[in-house]
């Protein structure tokens, strides 16, 4: 029992696919990663400043925005995941509710990793390890990867907001369907108690209308 509970909460095993099935990292390392690499190459080409200057003048002020938006919407997502309607929805997925929780956690991991990488760049770590005068190719590759991570982070921030809004729409739809079903059952209950089926009641109603 304890091993099963430990496996259910093993995020890193889920991320790397050690528990069988599709690895969680496939949520990031998929065909769309090429789009982020392309955006990184474009930014590498058009941004005229060093990676340290870009980190200190642009990313540091925006980091608070990334964190604020992401964590606020992740909190909303967790509240929705605990609702009865979304629990029914996630129960139909092979990975269950755990899959949805870990997907959000992966988005947060991407955001934190990007902020750490760019923070080190702002402190001059990249310029110190790979000085452009000595290792120009390494410096270009690292800068390209940092810009690609920035593109991925913006995409993950958008995904958090968009998927949370979708869950809200699904919750409303499921609740409406459940209320409609409950109403139909309440209407059919008196007929069932009298030993009359709904088809018989409708047939009797049609005969009564025909007589008049």
pLDDT tens for each residue of 95-141: 778 888 888 889 889 988 998 999 888 888 888 888 878 888 999 99
pLDDT in tens, 64-106: 777 888 878 888 888 888 888 888 887 777 777 888 888 888 9
CA-CA distance, 165 to 84, in Å (whole number)? 17
State whether the Cα torsion 187-192-195-200 is positive or negative: positive
Q: 29-50 pLDDT, tens per residue? A: 888 899 999 999 999 999 988 8
pLDDT at 8: 65
DSSP helix/strand/coil, 9: coil
Beta-carbon count within 10 A of 6 CB: 10
């Amino acid at each position: 029992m304890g091993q099963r509970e430990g496996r259910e909460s093993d995020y890193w095993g889920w991320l790397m696919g050690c528990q069988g099935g599709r690895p969680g990292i496939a949520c990031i390392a998929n065909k769309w990663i090429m789009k982020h690499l392309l955006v990184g190459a474009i930014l590498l080409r058009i941004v005229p400043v060093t990676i340290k200057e870009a980190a200190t003048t642009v990313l540091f002020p925006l980091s608070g925005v990334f964190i604020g938006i992401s964590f606020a919407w992740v909190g909303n997502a967790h509240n929705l995941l605990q609702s009865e309607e979304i629990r029914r929805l996630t129960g139909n997925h092979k990975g269950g509710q755990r899959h949805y929780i870990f997907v959000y956690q992966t988005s947060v991991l991407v955001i934190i990793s990007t902020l750490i990488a760019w923070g080190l760049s702002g402190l001059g770590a990249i310029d110190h390890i790979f000085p452009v005068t000595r290792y120009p190719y390494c410096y270009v590759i690292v800068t390209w990867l940092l810009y690609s991570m920035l593109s991925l982070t913006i995409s993950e921030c958008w995904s958090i907001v968009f998927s949370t809004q979708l869950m809200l729409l699904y919750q409303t739809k499921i609740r409406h369907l459940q209320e409609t079903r409950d109403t139909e059952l309440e209407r059919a209950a008196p007929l069932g108690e009298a030993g009359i089926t709904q088809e018989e009641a409708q047939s009797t109603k049609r005969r009564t209308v025909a007589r008049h």
